[in-house]
Structure 1
Amino acid sequence: MVMQSLKNIFMKSYFDYDSAFDLFKFHPQLRVFLVLNGIFFNNPESPLRLIWPILSAALSLVATSFEAIFIYHGVAVKDYSFATECFCYFIIMTAVPVVYTSMILNREKIVDLLNSMNRDFLHICSLGSKYRSTFLKGQLLIWQLCIAWFTFVTTVVFTFLATTIAILMYQSLFATQTENIVRPLMFPLWLPKDDPYRTPNYEIFMFWEIVLMLIVVQTFCAYVYLLFHILLHYYYLMSMIIFDCEVLFVGLDASVVKLPKHDPRRMGVQTILNSRMRRIVKWHNLVFQSIEAVSSIFGPPLVYQVMFSSLPISLMAYQVAESLDHGRLDVMFAMLGIATCVQLWIPCYLGTVIRNKAFSVGDAIWSSGWHETPLGRLLRADITLVIMRSQRPVSIRLRGLPNLELETFSSIMSTSYTYFTLLRQYTGKMK
């Protein structure tokens, strides 16, 4: 019964597709995630919207300050395992204020972008079954990917919590006082003149570590979801453009080309052709404008990801390798490493997919049959302009950095492996 209910939610079987609905009714999670990022819809200027982002950013900055101290201590005492683990958390925590700042400063752009997406949603759902069914299948996939991403992130969080609680329960139930054990924390701590693991320090730090972990998870869960939702929306919008290209000349009388320019029959066909081409051009321009908006809105966190992801990935791999050298697997760091790679791979993969889809639009207009019908002469200039514009790559452009594509991801992973190898060689010599 529970599995069936979960399946119905995943497949959105309960949703009434025959009723009137818009983007936000089909994707209620959109507004929930935006509220958590300080973007209100009913009262957009309310100062209450800034409470959670400011609190989260402030706590993250405090945490990064502590992690910087821990890194210094680890290097000073040559405890490189401790230092590298703290450096990973330092990189991750620093991303939180970057994401919140980017979202709040670009609040109006985000709202305009979502309103534009909603207009596309309503218009496409009012078209024929071919458009509607394909577009809604894409929207359903976005919903399913949202659930999958949320489940994955929740699993990572549960792993950290469950592992820590399991060790704590073992120590409480089975360990003896002679074992000289230390109560576990999810993230290692050090204090210059105190023991962070004594009561009440332990309980206080455990509470704040859980809070900080939830802040990081909520931040990245919302940020990555919003990014891939917007990108996939315009991916499917380009599918609608391709459908329009396929039917550009369908159902029209080609013989009107021989009639005088101001003949009513020819003018009627010309009007239909202009209307069809206008929608193609409008949607095509909208894709370019929207991807540029995405680059502007999410530029700072994406730049941060591209510039610094190679460091935590290499350090996490180092932590896992070190644990394997001692005959155990560091499950928490393995999960965290996978999550770090996935959150970077998602925008890179979508950047490549959208780039290729945009080139497909050029192929579709070229293959629309303009050269097989006399009607092609009526739209020759428009078709030429669309083909020329489609040769310009639609990609997420980051100032001073390469476009966000799979090639970028491959380069980052290659750099991470280089750092990992150097770190292993260096620490091996030190031992």
Structure 2
Amino acid sequence: MALFIKNLKAFINKENFDFENPHITLKAFHPQIYIMYMINGIFFNNRNSKIRYVYPMLNTTMALIASAFQMMFMYRGVTIEDYAFASESFCYVVILGTAPLVYISTLYNTDIIITQLNEMDKDFIFISSLTTKHRDHFLKGQLIIWQLCLAWFAFCTVVCGMYIVNTFVLLFHYSLIATQDEHMIRPLIFPMWLPEDDPYRTPNYEIFMFFQIVLISIIYQNFCGYVYIQFHILIHYYTIMDVIILDFEDIFDDLDESVVDLKKDDSRRVEVQLILNSRMKRIVQWHISVIKSLDTLSSVYGPPLVYQVMFSSVAICIMAYQVVNQLENGKVDFLFAMLWFGACVQLWIPCYLGTLMRDKIMSSSYSYFNMLRQSTKD
């Protein structure tokens, strides 16, 4: 057990990774982002392969069919005044609706996404060749991305896994422990209703159970990956802003200030000016890179993000109602409570990181003004 914990800690902290390598790449440090994009239909070796559309199309079709069923369940719940059933179905419709939007946005903007990944890779290669101070700030931020990625996927695995585990525990109870006078029916992951048939009879039950497990897998891959990619890109450029601030602070380091009194065409002054110009050029290029990345993020994931913000607030309220309603009946709906917490977190992540980016941009502005003031004093 101690060895397992030690290995797990080493994995989380990337203790076996060579942080001193002067040529670290994005793929070497964050292979998971390439895997997430590959699942969403972006191939990096054979970019024009038609096969890349198969998996997203199958998942999108499944999500749309499931959404249609959930809408039918919503209507059924409203007509029989079973608002708990209707509200639960609405929440699932909101969650399933994310899948088509993410797949379409990703596939439509494939070239833009690949260009952005290449730019992020260039950031890795360039900064890993800089001074220790720059490398440490940047790689520390990248390590945080890796750890947050593991934490987010662990949380999503628990939530999605509990839906399946809870259902199989109830099924185990039904099959081996329950008595006939309990009048139980075999449980499904998501409650169902059919107008002219019983979804809980064989073989309907087995078919619906299989497809509901598949839906859990689709939601896990798509939604978790979408939120992860959001915070990965935002935190990556947040660390770039840290490097920009360091550059502002060090912009006059090791420069000969006495050349100010020399003529403009003096070789010593020209040499110092060229060094200063190259440092300013690097700061400007990184600023442009950050601006482009935020534009890319909004253009690629703008529609899913708008959908996420618009409908998550409604879904969160309905989930809270569902949990409270069950509490009033003497039951604890821990699955919906976990889903409610996850919905709050996924909505909080882009809002919080957006605020951090705004504050960091303001900090870079202050660093620029401090640099100007220092140059004026000198």
TM bin, normalised by shorter chain, reads: over 0.9
Partner of 1:426: none
Matched, 1:198 2:201: yes
Could you tell me which amino acid in structure 1 is paired with residue 373 of structure 2?
H
**Contact 1:96/1:216 (CA < 8 Å) preserved in 2?**
yes
How far the C-alpha of 1:374 sits from its partner, in A, is 5.8
Q: How does 1:23-422 map to 2 (within 5 A)?
A: 23-368=26-371, 370-373=372-375
How far the C-alpha of 1:21 sits from its partner, in A, is 3.1
Q: Larger relative CO (CA 8 A, sep 6+): 1 or 2? A: 2
SS of equivalent to 1:198: coil
What do residues 99-139 of structure 1 show as CA deviations (whole Å, max 9, x unaligned)? 11111101111100010000011000000000011111111
CA distance, structure 1, for counterparts of residue 253 and residue 368 of structure 2:
13
List runs of 5+ in structure 2 lacking aligned partners: none
Partner of 1:8: 10
CA distance, structure 2, for counterparts of residue 281 and residue 375 of structure 1:
23
- Pair 1:269–1:69, CA change in 2 (3 A): same
What do residues 218-241 of structure 1 show as CA deviations (whole Å, max 9, x unaligned)? 101111111111111100000010
- Pair 1:275–1:216, CA change in 2 (3 A): same
Following TM superposition, the consecutive aligned residue runs of length 4 or more in structure 1 with deviations greater than 2 angstroms are: 16-21, 370-376
How far the C-alpha of 1:197 sits from its partner, in A, is 0.7
CA distance, structure 2, for counterparts of residue 144 and residue 289 of structure 1:
26
CA distance, structure 2, for counterparts of residue 85 and residue 372 of structure 1:
60
Across the aligned residues of Structure 1 and Structure 2, the Cα RMSD in angstroms comes to: 1.2
How far the C-alpha of 1:190 sits from its partner, in A, is 0.3
CA distance, structure 2, for counterparts of residue 297 and residue 273 of structure 1:
36
- Pair 1:42–1:250, CA change in 2 (3 A): same
CA distance, structure 2, for counterparts of residue 243 and residue 152 of structure 1:
34
CA distance, structure 2, for counterparts of residue 22 and residue 238 of structure 1:
19
**19-28 or 113-122: bigger deviation:** 19-28
Partner of 1:385: none
The structure 1 residue matched to 2:24, chosen from 21, 25, 28, is 21
Percent of residue pairs identical: 51
SS of equivalent to 2:373: coil
How far the C-alpha of 1:373 sits from its partner, in A, is 4.0
SS of equivalent to 1:309: helix
CA distance, structure 1, for counterparts of residue 373 and residue 36 of structure 2:
48
**Contact 1:257/1:374 (CA < 8 Å) preserved in 2?**
no
CA distance, structure 2, for counterparts of residue 270 and residue 14 of structure 1:
42
How far the C-alpha of 1:375 sits from its partner, in A, is 8.9
How far the C-alpha of 1:186 sits from its partner, in A, is 1.2
**Contact 2:24/2:128 (CA < 8 Å) preserved in 1?**
no
What do residues 36-73 of structure 1 show as CA deviations (whole Å, max 9, x unaligned)? 00000010111111111000000000011111111111
SS of equivalent to 1:367: helix
How far the C-alpha of 1:98 sits from its partner, in A, is 0.7
Could you tell me which amino acid in structure 1 is paired with residue 198 of structure 2?
D
CA distance, structure 2, for counterparts of residue 62 and residue 220 of structure 1:
17
- Pair 1:372–1:196, CA change in 2 (3 A): closer
CA distance, structure 2, for counterparts of residue 372 and residue 171 of structure 1:
76
**Contact 1:70/1:190 (CA < 8 Å) preserved in 2?**
yes
Could you tell me which amino acid in structure 2 is paired with residue 340 of structure 1?
A
What do residues 335-364 of structure 1 show as CA deviations (whole Å, max 9, x unaligned)? 111111111111111100001000100001
**Contact 1:113/1:290 (CA < 8 Å) preserved in 2?**
yes
Could you tell me which amino acid in structure 2 is paired with residue 110 of structure 1?
I
SS of equivalent to 1:301: helix
**Contact 2:98/2:304 (CA < 8 Å) preserved in 1?**
yes
CA distance, structure 2, for counterparts of residue 161 and residue 79 of structure 1:
24
What do residues 128-163 of structure 1 show as CA deviations (whole Å, max 9, x unaligned)? 000011111111111111100110000101211111
Q: How many residue pairs align between the two structures? A: 375
**Contact 1:249/1:375 (CA < 8 Å) preserved in 2?**
no
CA distance, structure 2, for counterparts of residue 373 and residue 304 of structure 1:
47
**Contact 1:254/1:373 (CA < 8 Å) preserved in 2?**
no
